[in-house]
Structure 1
């Protein structure tokens, strides 16, 4: 990598001028505060504390190709050690040797000292005493902040840069029928949604709860075999800023462990439940190998009547989908693409997802998040090299394809500050302040952009 950058440097001032012009044209207006460059970010590596975890047998060792599996799933799979995990849906203990090893591996001087927040009995957060004007810890739940206040953490991924892209994501899986008492939910549990995606030749990004993975490892296995992308959604789905540092580590660790054992991969991405994240939690996630992914469009599908759901009328959710489609078709939504929050939570959310997907496919370019962000390696296992919008990756190594990059180095361009987001529990969050929300695009020189600039430079020389 150093050799590549030294070679590029020999192009001199002409390339610098060209890169400035290309960045300006791509972003249309300069950023007031540029995102940090890749070199400025805190260095992270593949989690050594997962090296001893042996995945179950029969898993793919690279991106699957060919016919996607369908059919029923077993409730358990041989070789998956359920007894090794803590109690599901509770904050996992912090005194195990495994969690202690991760705690010891983290550089705590690089974890901002944001206070541990307090949750109310109804699940809301206590925000009294937090200065939303200065937003010292980039607390999304209060300000929708996505750009950390420390320069060694990357900006959250929360939208697709290219207009017309629809980043398809589903939270809270794998949907396990044994977790629910209502028989009406069972037919909608996995592999229902995964089979539907396969039938419509559609890939998506799945944010998995560790407790659900342990309860239904066969569904996680099916997801990786289907070519779906898997990210972390914590062990027990808490408001993460209400957890101590050690509890945050435990929430991440047991989810990462369950995903690696059931699928053979180690995600480089996570999404905070309810969107609740600040720089303290981001820094722990980053040092555990994961970039934060939020969203910029929320279906609020979780709040429809259904097991574990609420009272939001399905007609209202239908209206959200139709409104997004209409806005794109009439030209009022042309600034950037979107990352959209949906759930594989119950019969209501799965049926809503299946109802709208065919129409979305005729309107948008529906893709998983890594594809719209041109991230070829969403996992630490670099033999999994996925296709991106920059081109189809065919190499077994990320470094062999200069048009693609990985989850740690893909830096986004911020959409207009007027983009409105809401948190996952349905309450509309406060608008981001000028200090916390980027107001214009930003540009970063990645391997991909350098490659493109070199091509353009030589093309100009040949004119």
Structure 2
């Protein structure tokens, strides 16, 4: 197990520091023509044209599932063609013509010239002499900044705007079966997905590791056929601000490629491992068609004893869930909804979900992150349209006080978001979790400010 990142974030700054976008220092590709902006000033996006045109994958719906879903206990173990991808859980390959094509397509004048951060021997970020009092690059790991310092990028998604909503999400999937431990296989996919289906046909947003998709594409197919939403969580789970520009592109590209080959869809969303993101990485992700999604509460479930886990007692994590449920029931949690970081990483994390999901469903309106944001088209393939309240779980609960901090746009917008206070731990093939510090509250925005930011981001996210 690689040690946890330990760094206490300073308070967020309210004075915006504008960063002049410079050409990428790690790219040998010539800059593309200047990118256009939307009427809001946010950089326009377009469908990723550099991905291969795969044949429609077998056994995958052509759109959101409307009939009975498959809850079979086993899945095919056939992998994608491994020769077309980097080695699983190895750094994403950069010396490849497909990566060169992406590099040539990006406008590097719109990528801030933030130097890559240093990584310690254990993979964790070293904070060095970064000026957190100015936070010039909106570096989440140091300051929990979620609002970019450049005006052409939207704010990160980090919480659900409506009080009482719980944006269900899981990192590090799909959970592959073990080659040598049948006990662990009792929790590998499709166990979690079948459990969600059996509990109110619950939907979730899933942040996928590209390496896991290549080695277990049938699980990704099951997830999308069940109506879950697939997002990118990089190829090999590095701290992304420690990567050069071309390494960032490669970590995104191979994951997007694997998801598209396995399922036929191209995600518009990603989550940084450990939350480690700054405006340089955000700008590359945005130009590759993805908005950044963080969280405002942290279960620390990855750190419980389990396969690839840590030593955090089960009762500690259990206590976080008790606290969130109690706060909602006693009326103290009324500012906005939540995106609580959870994982499908191992047997322990799946067990925690199995314990708490029914109670959460009785207390909150549990839905995918996209559903809580009003985003109905999460992919560049427009035939995939998700219904609102897909899980059918928007009934009255113990505390019905509802406050909308950021009203979702009627279009499929990306929201404004509050700052979280959490850090992450380095991940490996055996330990690819995210969070490390105790769960914490988000800072809420005023309604008028948040609404304006939400509308701005919504316009940008779906402008093209």
Query: What TM bracket, shorter-length normalisation?
Result: 0.7 to 0.9
Is the Cα–Cα contact under 8 Å of residues 403 and 447 in structure 1 kept in the other structure? no
In 2, Cα distance between the equivalents of 1:86 and 1:147? 33
Matched, 1:411 2:415: yes
Residue matched to 2:298: 298
| 2:376 partner SS | strand
| Aligned residue runs from structure 1 range 142-291, under 5 A | 142-178=142-178, 181-200=180-199, 201-291=201-291
| Aligned residue runs from structure 1 range 427-438, under 5 A | 427=437
| 2:125 partner SS | coil
Is the Cα–Cα contact under 8 Å of residues 252 and 285 in structure 2 kept in the other structure? yes
Which structure has the bigger radius of gyration?
A: 1
| Aligned residue runs from structure 1 range 294-373, under 5 A | 294-373=294-373
**Could you say if the C-alpha distance between residues 170 and 107 of structure 1 is closer, same or farther in structure 2, counting changes exceeding 3 Å?**
same
1:30-89 alpha-carbon deviations (Å, 9 max, x no partner): x998xx9863110111100114233422321111111111113334348x4333111010
Matched, 1:442 2:450: yes
| 2:134 partner SS | coil
1:196-249 alpha-carbon deviations (Å, 9 max, x no partner): 000012000100000000010000000010001100000000000111000000
Q: TM-score, normalised by structure 2?
A: 0.80
Offset at 1:405?
Answer: 2.3
Is the Cα–Cα contact under 8 Å of residues 158 and 295 in structure 2 kept in the other structure? yes
Offset at 1:142?
Answer: 0.3
Offset at 1:390?
Answer: 12
Aligned alpha-carbon RMSD (Å): 2.8
| Aligned residue runs from structure 1 range 57-72, under 5 A | 57-72=58-73
Aligned length: 398
| 1:39 partner SS | coil
In 2, Cα distance between the equivalents of 1:410 and 1:231? 14
In 2, Cα distance between the equivalents of 1:95 and 1:32? 40
- Structure 1 alignment gaps of length 5 or more: 1-30, 393-401, 451-463
Offset at 1:92?
Answer: 1.6
Is the Cα–Cα contact under 8 Å of residues 291 and 414 in structure 2 kept in the other structure? no
In 1, Cα distance between the equivalents of 2:274 and 2:258? 22
Offset at 1:154?
Answer: 0.6
In 2, Cα distance between the equivalents of 1:374 and 1:335? 18
1:274-303 alpha-carbon deviations (Å, 9 max, x no partner): 000000000000000000000001100000
In 1, Cα distance between the equivalents of 2:194 and 2:264? 21
| Aligned residue runs from structure 1 range 95-134, under 5 A | 95-134=95-134
**Could you say if the C-alpha distance between residues 439 and 365 of structure 1 is closer, same or farther in structure 2, counting changes exceeding 3 Å?**
closer
Higher helix share: 1
In 2, Cα distance between the equivalents of 1:207 and 1:448? 21
Offset at 1:184?
Answer: 2.0
**Could you say if the C-alpha distance between residues 403 and 292 of structure 1 is closer, same or farther in structure 2, counting changes exceeding 3 Å?**
closer
In 2, Cα distance between the equivalents of 1:104 and 1:237? 24
1:137-159 alpha-carbon deviations (Å, 9 max, x no partner): 00000000000000110100000
Offset at 1:389?
Answer: 5.6
Matched, 1:52 2:53: yes
